[in-house]
Amino acid sequence: MEDCVFCKIIKGEIPSDKVYEDEEILAFKDINPAAPIHILVIPKKHIPSLVELEQGDEEIIGKIYRIINKIAKEQGIDNKGFRVIVNCGKDGGQEVNHLHFHLLGGKQLGEKIV
């Protein structure tokens, strides 16, 4: 999508601090980290949010969790733990309309809602 900041990151039009990339998935450090480790994991396919998931997207969502597992181990937070958050829509507080998984860790995470 032309005006999507994450699509621009994927295309290299906006710089990012990449931690993982393959043909389908990109992971990069959040520009405004909420924890010592705050990485965004996104599909390269422009899926606006969880609401727009289509049949056939199951594979990429499953793969994203496998990459989160790999990154958590590489970042050394697999033993102490971490949190994965997907904000969706207005009430969910989603600000960037390209599906993204927040991987947060490196400290005791507060403000537990559920």
Provide the annotated active-site residues.
100
Distance CA 29, CA 42 (A): 11
**CB atoms closer than 10 angstroms to residue 68:** 20
Q: Report the residue from 24, 49, 70, 87 that binds ligand AMP according to the rule CB under 6 A.
A: 87
Site for ligand AMP in 25-44 (CB under 6 A): 30-32, 40
Distance CA 29, CA 40 (A): 6
Query: What is the closest distance, in whole angstroms, from the C-beta atom of residue 48 to Zn ion in the complex?
Result: 8
- Residue 38 CB-density burial (10 A; 0-12 exposed, 13-18 middle, 19+ buried): middle
From the list Zn ion, ligand AMP, none, which binds 101 (C-beta under 5 to 8 Å, kind-based)?
none
Binding site for ligand AMP (CB under 6 A): 5, 14, 16, 30-32, 40, 87, 93-96
